[in-house]
Every structure is written in C-alpha cells, then in structure tokens.
Amino acid sequence: MKPITRTLHQELFDTKTVSDILDPLFVHVEPESNVVTALALMRQHKLRCIAVTYKKKPVGIFSERNLLLAAHYRRDLEVLPVEAVMSSPVIAVPDSTLLFEAFALMLNERVSFLAVVDHNGDCIGVASRAGMVNIFGVSFFYQNKTVSDVMLRTVATAHRGEKISAACARMAETGEPCILLEHERKPLGIMTAHDMSALILSGADLSAFRIEDVAAKPIISISPSASLDEAIALMNTHEITILVVIDQSGQIAGLITEDVVLAGIEAPYFRAFRSMLQQRQDRIADRNRELTERSLFLEQILTVASDTAIIATDLYLKIKYFNDAASMLLGSKPSDVIGLSLPDLFSKVQFEQVHFSRGIDAVQRKHKYTYATEFLRESAHLLLDCWVTGIRAEDDILSGYVWMARDVTEHRELQENLRRPLLRCRLTGLLNRQSLLDTLMREIDRTSRYGSPFSVIMLDVDRLKTLNDTFGYHAGDAVLRQIASMMSSNMRRVDIAGRWGGGEFVVIAPETSESEATSLADRIRELIEGHYFDEVGEVTISGGVAQYRGEEDADSIIRKAEKGLSRAKSRGRNRIEAA
C-alpha cells in the first residue's frame, strides 16, 4: 500500500484531474484471460485490482475478492476466464474528470474503483478511492478521530483445526476482510484475502491445510484509544491494510482496515467541502442574499459532472439556475426560463412530471429521489438518469430544489454492445460459461416458483486431446463449431445450449424430465456419431443427465450432470448416462 500523505492543497479541488493520479504503467487483461494470469499480474505489480478490457473498452474489474468467489465455487482457475467472475459493469469516467467529481461519484455509487477512459472511450487506467485519499490526505477528513471511532467491532474468528477451505468459503460468502485465529478472544494469527490468494495461486489443495498453518504471525495490533493518524502510519510502515485492535486485557476489540477508513469518509468529505465553500462565501460577504443562495446551489452543483443537466429552483419551484447542459437537453435558453415555474417548463417541452412530483415529496421528507425516464427530443429517443435533491442551509431548513439529468443513451448502448459478445463463446457462437450459469440460476428460480421440472445435459467430445494432437487445433476447433451447429439445429426452441469449456457443452432443458432429457441427449449423440467430419472423420461424444429435484443449487446440479458424464466415459464412451 502506498503511503498516505497528510497535506491538502485547495487547488486540487479546482485543477487536478483523475489523469494526474494514474499509474504510468497501465496493466490490464482481456476477458478470456484465465484467472491465474490476472492474479499473477496483480501480484507482480502490487495491484489491488486489475482492469478487464475488450477492444480497449473497460468491461469489468477483477480483484482478490473475485478470486475467493471462484475458489469457493470450485472453479478450475487454470481454465476459468476472468469474464466469468469479474465485477461488471464498471463505471467509467473521462480522464479530464476533476478529482473531487470522481471522488463524489465513488461515494454516491458506493464503489471503490472507477475505470478511466480517454476521448475515444479506450480504458487507460483505474482510479481508486484509496488513491483519492492519498492525494487529499486522510487527516483532512478525520480530525481528532481515534481508532475506536471508526473500527469494525464485529470480527470473523476461527479456532485451531479449522480447514482453510472452510475459511475461504466464509470470506467469499460474507465479504469479511480477514479471519482471526484466536483462543479465549486473544489473537494468535491473521489470514487475509491477500494471504488466501497466494495460497490459491500456488495450486495448493485448500482442504489439506488448517488455518494455523498459514495465519500470519505476529499480529500487528493497535489500541482503541490510538489516533487514526497513528493507525495509518502503522499500516504504511508495515505495508498492510488491516490492523487488529486490542484492548487493555489483550483481547480482540475490533479491526481497523483501509476500507473502513475510506467508507467513513463520505460525511467528513462533504463537511470539509462545505467548509471550503463557506470560506469563499466569507470573502464575498458584502454580496446580497441572492448571491448567497446561489453559492448554496453551487455546493450541490460542484459535486456532479459538467455534462449533467442541472436546474435549481426555490421553494415555489421558480427556476433560479439553469446550466448549459439543461439548455441543450430541453431546448431553452437560461435567459428565457429563469423565474419561470419548472413544472410549466416541463409541460411546454412535454417532459413527464410524475417522477418529479414524487421527488419533491421525497425531498420534503429529507430523502433524495432517483429515477430513469425517456425523453423524445427532435425525433431522438433519449434515455435519462435523473435525480431530485434539496438545498438546505446550515440550519437544515429547506430553501429550494435541484433537478439533475444525465443522458445515458450512448452509455447504455455501449454497455449493451460490449456485453453482447461477452455472453457468447467466440468459437462456437453458443452461450459461454457465465451466461449458462446465469440462465441456470434463473431456471432454478422459475422452477421454485412454478414447480415444473427441468434437466441439465453435459456433453463432452471423446478424445478431443488426441484429435487436436493428431490433426491440429484448427481441426479440433472446426469439430467444435460443427457440433455446436448440429446441437442448435436439433433442439427444441425452449432448450438453451452453451459451451462449458474445452470440449464440454451444456444443455438446459426446461420442463423436461430426466428420461426425456436422456432421449434428447442420445439423439444428439447419434447425430454426431453418424456424421463424417472433414479432416478427422468420425467423432463421438459422451454425456451425463441430471434432473433438478428442488433442493440443489446451480453448482450441485452441474456436479450431478458431471457425475453422469464421468460414468459414461468409464463405461466405454459414446453413451449417455443419467446421474
């Protein structure tokens, strides 16, 4: 972890952009890269996360937390693509975005990372919330705070003898930053996600280790009464992100983590920013009440990007501020609308008002209101994300409203265009592994509601490795493409087929019993057996069938089908076996 500085320069708020804090070396991976490759790059460059890009566009973020999830669900990390477990979609900002705009966006969206793109939309780096705090200085946000004020008081613990695999499952499912090995509430060791990732990367069998075998010792600890500055200095000295908080009796009192520090910054950040605005107001104290009200409007406006339409009104919904983006969106000049009623303007341009009225009600109850809507402008169909919030003075008295809207049409279209190829296997055109899992979970949910059966078929090309070694991978790829085409042409319209990986295919057959699915699988097997493949001649497949019985999760039903497939292989191949 890079040292956290303790200086804040006011010009940072006015001039510095996210491009100023990016690492000169941009490390990224493609969606089809395997998890082990991504993790190795992260450890080589000491990264908390790595960007996932497709044709230079950001499509996801991969972190050690994603690795824990993959290991927990027993995925083969050597062949598992990053796209199957990455966090997606990712929020992207232009490299010209001011630091405080990016920081406010992170707080509002509750994310730790933003993808940074250039003017072409190509990803050039990742901005982290931790990096922002390094620039601004933690002391600015936490004046006179102690460890006890912000620490986590609920701590995940384990005792000697617990298997690493069980600890991994707990961390993956609960999101805990670490697990403490303890005896009578006294810490004996600590295991973090970083420690776990190193063990996973080594290829070790997690079930063969106990937590005491890998828990780090000695523990770096701190007192609850220590200042937050002391805690940060200790983290920097030892290059760690977690400290164990120990009380006077030597027992565990809590945890202080880098993420806890970052998560608590939101309120202090806005208080600090409000203080800076107040200093500016003091320098123009001779201005009249109208300028003072406008400075309150500015407090709300400065936290959003310049491409956002912003309209501020008084309590009677009379327009007081109307920016250029609002002018472009609604087709009205600021000089023509200042002083008019905002509902009247919405009626004039035929902009829907139901959600706006609900937003006004929400603000009066001290809530913020967000919604998505559509707007027809000069025959162009726009998709908008909108917000309604209030303007409140220091005494918390409501003095006006702010309506904001951002045109997300291109962003939604870009996300859809990026997502579409990621749903399918590029070789066969069938659904890919992650899409199959998503479809399987939806089918489980549907079956749970309506009680209709469904089955899963897993097929595997017999002796595919021998075929590749003999005729070359181009011939093997051609076989996989032909098999995918034959499957698609000989299934019902309701059946869903995809490539699981290698020579394995999965078919999800809704409203289908085990015997019916076995017949379907056998029909596909016979078609392939009777087909002559160019270059390689005859090819056969084996398969396993499993019916969902109402209690399994997606992982369990896949394992059942794999069990049937293994039985078919052991009994001579070119056959179908039910689980």
Tell me the C-alpha distance between 251 and 253, whole Å: 6
- Fill in the amino acid letter for 344: D
Confidence of residue 8 (pLDDT cuts 50, 70, 90): very low
Tell me the C-alpha distance between 545 and 123, whole Å: 43
- Asked whether the predicted pLDDT for residue 434 surpasses 60, the reply is yes
Given 231, 264, 297, the domain boundary residue is 264
Task: Clarify whether residues 350 and 476 are in a common domain.
Answer: no
Q: What is the DSSP letter of 5?
A: P
How many other C-beta atoms are found inside a 10 Å radius of the C-beta of residue 324? 13
Q: What is the DSSP letter of 216?
A: B
Helices (H), 137-187: 138-141, 147-150, 164-174
> If you average pLDDT over residues 206-210, what whole number do you get?
81
pLDDT at 24: 83
Q: How far is CA 33 from CA 54, 416, 432, 498, in A?
A: 11, 21, 14, 19
Tell me the C-alpha distance between 82 and 80, whole Å: 7
Task: Clarify whether residues 444 and 405 are in a common domain.
Answer: no
Given 358, 383, 409, the domain boundary residue is 409
255 touches 243 (CB < 8 A): yes
> If you average pLDDT over residues 390-397, what whole number do you get?
79
H helix count then E strand count, the chain: 24, 24
Instruction: Establish how many alpha carbons lie within 13 A of residue 315's alpha carbon, considering only the half-sphere containing its beta carbon.
Output: 6
- Which of 87 and 378 is assigned the larger pLDDT? 87
Task: Clarify whether residues 127 and 201 are in a common domain.
Answer: no
In this predicted model, what pLDDT tens digit does every residue of 96-109 receive, in sequence order? 888 777 877 777 77
Task: Clarify whether residues 320 and 199 are in a common domain.
Answer: no
Task: Clarify whether residues 43 and 171 are in a common domain.
Answer: no
Q: How many domains does the chain have?
A: 4
Would you say residue 417 lies in a domain? no
Out of 157-171, 228-242, 272-286, 472-486, give the one with best mean pLDDT: 472-486
How many other C-beta atoms are found inside a 10 Å radius of the C-beta of residue 122? 12
Task: Clarify whether residues 158 and 193 are in a common domain.
Answer: yes
pLDDT at 135: 65
Task: Clarify whether residues 399 and 294 are in a common domain.
Answer: yes
Tell me the C-alpha distance between 486 and 424, whole Å: 17
241 touches 254 (CB < 8 A): no
Would you say residue 207 lies in a domain? yes
Q: Residue 315 maps to which CATH number?
A: 3.30.450.20
Q: Residue 497 maps to which CATH number?
A: 3.30.70.270
In this predicted model, what pLDDT tens digit does every residue of 324-342 receive, in sequence order? 889 888 989 988 999 999 9
Task: Clarify whether residues 203 and 297 are in a common domain.
Answer: no
Of the listed ranges 57-61, 443-447, 541-545, 554-558, the least confidently predicted one is 443-447
pTM confidence score:
0.41
| C-alpha gyration radius of the chain | 29
Q: Which two tokens stand for residue 257?
A: 């983590």
Contacts of 485 (CB under 8 A, 6+ apart): none
Q: Which two tokens stand for residue 578?
A: 């039910």
Would you say residue 6 lies in a domain? no
Which contiguous run of DSSP H or E holds residue 500?
A: strand 496-501
> What does the mean pLDDT of the chain come to?
82
Would you say residue 502 lies in a domain? yes
Would you say residue 271 lies in a domain? no
DSSP conformation letters of 519-564 = HHHHHHHHHHHTPEETTTEE--EEEEEEE--SS--HHHHHHHHHHH
Would you say residue 128 lies in a domain? yes
Task: Clarify whether residues 207 and 132 are in a common domain.
Answer: no
Contacts of 265 (CB under 8 A, 6+ apart): 107, 133, 138, 141, 142
Would you say residue 1 lies in a domain? no
In this predicted model, what pLDDT tens digit does every residue of 272-297 receive, in sequence order? 554 554 555 555 455 555 555 655 56
Domain housing 363: 285-409
Q: Residue 247 maps to which CATH number?
A: 3.10.580.10
Task: Clarify whether residues 427 and 574 are in a common domain.
Answer: yes
Task: Clarify whether residues 443 and 573 are in a common domain.
Answer: yes
Would you say residue 523 lies in a domain? yes
Task: Clarify whether residues 432 and 468 are in a common domain.
Answer: yes
Given 232, 264, 296, the domain boundary residue is 264
- Asked whether the predicted pLDDT for residue 4 surpasses 50, the reply is no
